[in-house]
């Protein structure tokens, strides 16, 4: 039992080292499947702080899986209910935009799935920014800079969505508002929890069944270029 408590404390240090003045990022990965199988959600969202998964959310059933000490802390936040509503609204919007989409050179018989990654971040100089990345069937196609509203096609499959979205003020404004407004506010709230957990990590007493050290396999957007972060490896020898 003592070794398990030490492991949880070390996990908190690895996941939550640093303070709010350091560069940090918050990302939500959306996977939209317009024709899901019976056992699959139509919309799944994976949350990451500094590229470390802390929860997954099923838009349809509103079920949440918490995957780290931060995830456990988030579920007690009063603001979390409002966040899930925004995530669900985002999933609904993305699903509604797929009806007339055809991916160039798409030869698969199955339906297209849409992946979207919203990321907001605080830089160490205090500057904040946000962006969106969109892809179909795992292929990165389109980028959106939330700060300047600029769209960039990185694959021919994104050309149709660029033309559709850049001429739709409501959609563009929604992407800006959620990433530059909501996401930034959520990140700041998470950082407050982050620092609180650092102060109490030495007395952390969660049992081994509370924290999952390995996140369950879910659909993940593998084509995203990561934010520049530092990884730490800690090896502990217990006698």
Residue-level pLDDT at 181: 95
As a whole number of angstroms, the distance between CA 105 and CA 148 comes to 30
Q: Is residue 209 part of a domain?
A: no
Mean pLDDT, range 19-23, rounded to an integer: 60
pLDDT of residue 21: 55
234 within domain boundaries? no
Based on the structure, what is the number of domains in the chain?
Answer: 1
Structure tokens at 128: 């904040």
Please report whether residue 128 resides in a domain. yes
Q: Alpha helices of 47-168 — where are they, by DSSP H?
A: 69-74, 80-96, 159-166
Of the candidates 28, 17, 68, which has an alpha carbon nearest to the alpha carbon of residue 234? 17
Q: Which range, 43-47, 101-105, 185-189, 217-221, has the best average confidence (pLDDT)?
A: 43-47
Q: What is the CATH number of the domain that holds 42?
A: 3.30.500.10
Please indicate, yes or no, if residue 232 is contained in any of the structural domains: no
Query: Would you say residue 224 lies in a domain?
Result: no
The domain of 19 spans 2-203
Would you state the pLDDT for residue 177?
96
β-partners of residue 35 are: none
pLDDT at 183 over 60: yes
pLDDT tens string 129-142: 999 999 998 899 99
Residue bearing the bigger pLDDT, 189 or 213: 189
Q: What is the pTM assigned to this prediction?
A: 0.72
Say if 223 falls within a structural domain: no
Kindly state whether residue 218 falls inside one of the protein's structural domains: no
The confidence band for 165, taking pLDDT boundaries of 50, 70 and 90, is very high
Q: Is residue 227 included in any domain, yes or no?
A: no
Q: How do the residues of the chain divide into helix, strand and coil, expressed in percent and rounded to 5?
A: 35, 25, 40
């Amino acid at each position: 039992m003592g070794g398990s408590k030490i492991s949880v404390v070390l996990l908190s240090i690895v996941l939550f080292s640093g303070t709010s003045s350091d560069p940090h990022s918050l990302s939500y990965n959306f996977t939209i499947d317009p024709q899901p199988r019976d056992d699959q959600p139509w919309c799944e969202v994976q949350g990451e702080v500094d590229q470390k998964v802390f929860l997954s959310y099923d838009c349809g059933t509103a079920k949440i899986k918490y995957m780290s000490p931060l995830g456990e802390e988030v579920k007690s936040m009063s603001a979390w209910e409002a966040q899930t509503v925004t995530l669900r609204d985002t999933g609904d919007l993305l699903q509604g935009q797929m009806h007339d989409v055809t991916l160039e050179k798409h030869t698969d018989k199955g339906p297209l799935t849409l992946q979207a990654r919203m990321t907001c971040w605080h830089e160490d100089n205090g500057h904040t920014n946000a962006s969106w990345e969109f892809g179909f069937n795992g292929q990165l196609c389109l980028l959106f800079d939330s700060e300047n509203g600029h769209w960039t096609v990185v694959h021919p499959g994104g050309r149709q969505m660029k033309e559709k979205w850049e001429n739709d003020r409501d959609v563009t404004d929604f992407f800006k508002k959620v990433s530059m407004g909501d996401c930034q506010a959520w990140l700041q709230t998470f950082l407050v929890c982050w620092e609180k957990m650092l102060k109490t990590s030495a007395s952390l007493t969660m049992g081994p069944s509370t924290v999952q050290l390995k996140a369950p396999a879910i659909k993940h957007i593998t084509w995203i270029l990561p934010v520049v972060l530092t990884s730490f490896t800690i090896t502990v020898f217990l006698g």
